[in-house]
Chains A and B, each alone.
Chain A
Amino acid sequence: NAGVMQNPRHLVRRRGQEARLRCSPMKGHSHVYWYRQLPEEGLKFMVYLQKENIIDESGMPKERFSAEFPKEGPSILRIQQVVRGDSAAYFCASSPGLAGSRDEQFFGPGTRLTVL
Chain B
Amino acid sequence: AQRVTQPEKLLSVFKGAPVELKCNYSYSGSPELFWYVQYSRQRLQLLLRHISRESIKGFTADLNKGETSFHLKKPFAQEEDSAMYYCALKGGTYKYIFGTGTRLKVLA
**Nearest Cβ distance between residue B70 and chain A, in whole angstroms?**
14
Contact call A103/B93, Cβ cutoff below 8 A? yes
- What is the number of contacts between chain A and chain B, taking CB atoms within 8 Å? 49
A33 CA / B42 CA spacing, docked (Å): 19
Contact call A56/B95, Cβ cutoff below 8 A? yes
Residues of chain A lying within 8 A (CB to CB) of residue B100: 40-42
**Which residue in chain B gives the minimum CB-CB distance to A105?**
B96
**Which residue in chain A gives the minimum CB-CB distance to B90?**
A101
Residues of chain A lying within 8 A (CB to CB) of residue B4: 42
List chain B positions with a Cβ less than 8 A from chain A.
Answer: 4, 6, 32, 36, 42-46, 49, 51, 86, 90, 93-101
**Nearest Cβ distance between residue B73 and chain A, in whole angstroms?**
21
Partner of B98, one of A31, A44, A103, A104: A44
Interface residues of A in 66-101 (CB under 8 A from B): 91, 95, 100-101
